[in-house]
Amino acid sequence: MFVKFLFLISTLLTLAGAIGVVAVKNIMHACVFLLASLIGVAGLYVTLGADFVSAVQLVVYVGGVVILMIFAVMLTGGDKADFFNKFGFEKVSAMGNKKTYLVGSAVLIVFTLSVGKIIFNIIDLKSSKDPQSYVSTVEQLGHLLLTDHVLAFEASSVVLLGALIGAAIIARPNRGVK
């Protein structure tokens, strides 16, 4: 029952976040919707029994990439047109409305249930008499990445390198061009 509930909430959060990313015009809101979608994906990984992949999803994507994107948007200023109303006065940011509290509550529920399920599996492993009852996915994942799927693993590193070089070129200031 718990896994079905977590799967349902994670699926709804993932889909709502993905739709929100492409539907909103504000880049800051898109980053927040991406955060919600990636937390939903981590919840889906927990329901599949891939605890390690879920933890990596939370640490790398949620904790690193999305937070870095939010800081980049905040530091660069994002879209300045959204900061002033039609009379030229600076807008005061609102603390939230019913929609933001609903999305925030769904994110909190999925995050808490995902982390709780992982911690419960670890506690259950320590309390069981049979140490082989819980099989870790880390060893299997490492073995598959470095044997059967090594080509896909190396291709993804080349794609990430290309994305990094492209981001550096785009972010570079245009010196000498007038």
Tokens 């819980």 locate to 134
Residue 74 has a pLDDT of: 72
Average pLDDT over residues 147-155: 89
Query: What is the CATH number that goes with domain 2-81+96-135?
Result: 1.20.120.1200
Q: Which band of pLDDT confidence, cut at 50, 70 and 90, is reported for residue 130?
A: low
List, in order, residues 6 or more apart from 17 with CB less than 8 Å away.
Answer: 33, 34, 35, 36, 37, 38, 39, 40
Specify the amino acid at residue 35: L
Average pLDDT over residues 97-102: 74
Specify the amino acid at residue 60: V
DSSP for 19-64?
HHHHH-S-HHHHHHHHHHHHHHHHHHHHHTT-HHHHHHIIIIIIII
**Helix and strand tally (H, E) in the chain?**
7, 0
Residue 135 has a pLDDT of: 66
Average pLDDT over residues 89-105: 67
pLDDT, tens digit, 9 for 90 and up, residues 23-65:
888 777 888 888 889 999 999 998 988 888 888 888 888 888 7
Radius of gyration of the chain (CA): 21
**Token pair belonging to 42:** 């981590």
**What is the rounded average pLDDT for all residues in the chain?**
79
Q: What percent of the chain has pLDDT over 70?
A: 80
Average pLDDT over residues 154-177: 80
Average pLDDT over residues 111-119: 84
pLDDT, tens digit, 9 for 90 and up, residues 157-167:
899 888 888 87
Average pLDDT over residues 106-113: 86
The dihedral of CA 121, 125, 127, 130: what is its sign? positive
Residue 87 has a pLDDT of: 64
Residue 108 has a pLDDT of: 87
Report domain extents, the chain.
2-81+96-135
**Token pair belonging to 30:** 């898109």
| Whole-prediction pTM | 0.62
